[in-house]
Amino acid sequence: MQYISQIIFLLVVAVAAYFLYQRISRIRKNIFLGKPSGRTASPERWKTMLLVALGQKKMFKRIVPAFLHMLIYVGFLVINLEVLEFVIDGIAGTHRIFAPFLGGFYTVLINVFEFLAVGVMFSCIMFLIRRNVVKVKRFQGNEMKKWPTLDANLILVIEIVLMFAILTMNATDMLIQGQDEHYAQTGTFFFSGLLVPLFEGMQLSTLIFVERFAWWFHILGILGFAVYVTYSKHLHIALAFPNTWYSNLNPKGQMENMAEVTNEVKMMLGMPTENANEPPAEIARFGAKDVNDLSWVNIMNAYSCTECGRCTDNCPANMTGKKLSPRKIMMDTRDRAEEVGASLAKGGKGLEDGKSLLGDFITKEEINACTSCNACVEACPVNIDPLAIILQMRRYVAMEESGSPASWNSMFQNVETNFAPWKFPPTDRFKWAEEMESKS
């Protein structure tokens, strides 16, 4: 019977690993629909990743959700050490393999794990209340209907159930230890000990069944959760680290110019350009109309989005009732990449399906509402940059379609001819100052 259990465990792990590999491969292909990013390694990138992704630096701008998130985050990291014992026990057919080697320290460790498990349950319950009872404003919005809301609630419920399974397993295990000498003696666990009265009086066979059921439920839940996360907004658990590493390290107000246009301008002004001896490369498209016009970092940003709504909550355009929601920009980009990737995987039309990111997913009204203030970038806890996508789509509209609003075109013309947004010659630029001096 034990060998059968081991074989089943290995099969389950293999199946989960297969689906996880397939999904990760698909996401990787979807991300690399984008163009090269040109971002290179630097010590500053490691520092940014350690502070923002690992240290949760930007989360603590809001203390209450930051504290609750920290409990889940630390619990997730530490409790996975216990999952290591689950895996070894499942493969080797043992039970609490570390207990005899660690002795009393094992009891301390499990009590720490249980404390964190209770912390995770508490945080998840509070987050459910914030989303569904208090209805925090930033969790609402047109883009948060149906699946995004269900996904967030489902993850929280799953985490609560998985933590409760650990406590149930430990509670029944303590009772079994007193009746079966073959079970490792682990001492008393505080939090699961509170559940012991629920199982007292049960027969040994029933206790073993409940303990084994809780063990299998937890390990199957962990494996299923790992696969499910790749379809969920909680993919940021993994992508937050590369996303912050590749984040834009330039000052927030510095926009990335198009290299092709910069070279053209330099050539017109007689300035030295990169690869001056080579003929200029043919420009396929100015700006971005679809996901393949974005950089792969832009698409990774979309997959890293936590849908927390901090970007939209801080967006001045959204505050004044404009249609723009930076969170929706990222969700739409991810949805379009998923759609194209799924089509290509089935041998379909992919990018040639008659749709595009701009127009079918994101409207001109949305991108034109953006003030380019970078509030969304500053607010994001994992350094996602919605503005980079918006600017590239606005470039497409302006340079490929000549579709910018008339008032913008006037401003562009004034900048080109007068070097200022206003329609007066450069020689008159400081007349207002002269008038001020004369009045004083």
Residues 227 and 85 in one domain: yes
- Look up the CATH number of the domain holding residue 422: 1.10.1060
Count up the domains in the chain and report the number.
2
Q: Which domain holds residue 143?
A: 2-31+62-245
Considering only CA atoms, which of 393, 287, 277, 274 is closest in space to residue 332?
393
Residue 298 within any structural domain of the chain: yes
- Look at residues 245, 273, 298 and tell me which one is the last residue of a structural domain: 245
Assess whether 230 and 308 both reside in one domain. Answer: no
pTM higher than 0.85:
yes
Same domain assignment for residues 238 and 288? no
**48 located within any domain:** no
Same structural domain, 93 and 238: yes
Each residue's pLDDT tens digit, 265-306: 777 777 777 665 665 556 678 889 999 999 999 999 999 999
Q: Establish if 54 belongs to a structural domain.
A: no
Q: Are residues 202 and 326 in the same domain?
A: no
- Indicate if 75 and 223 belong to the same structural domain: yes
Residues 304, 213 share a domain: no
Question: What is the C-alpha R_g of the chain?
Answer: 28
Residue 260 maps to a domain: no
Q: How do residues 373-399 score in pLDDT, each as one tens digit?
A: 999 999 999 999 999 999 999 999 998
- Picking from 134-138, 275-279, 312-316, which range would have the lowest pLDDT averaged per residue? 275-279
Residue finishing a domain among 245, 263, 297: 245
Query: What are the tens digits of pLDDT across the range 183-196?
Result: 778 888 999 999 99
Is 288 in the same domain as 227? no
Q: Specify whether 74 is located in the same domain as 163.
A: yes
Question: Quick one: pLDDT at residue 95?
Answer: 85
Whether 276 is in a domain gets the answer no
Between residues 286 and 320, the one the model is more confident about: 320
Q: pLDDT band for 409, please (50, 70, 90 cuts).
A: confident
The pair of structure tokens assigned to 163 is: 């933590």
Shared-domain flag, residues 208 and 289: no
For residue range 88-106, list pLDDT tens digits in order: 888 888 888 888 888 889 8
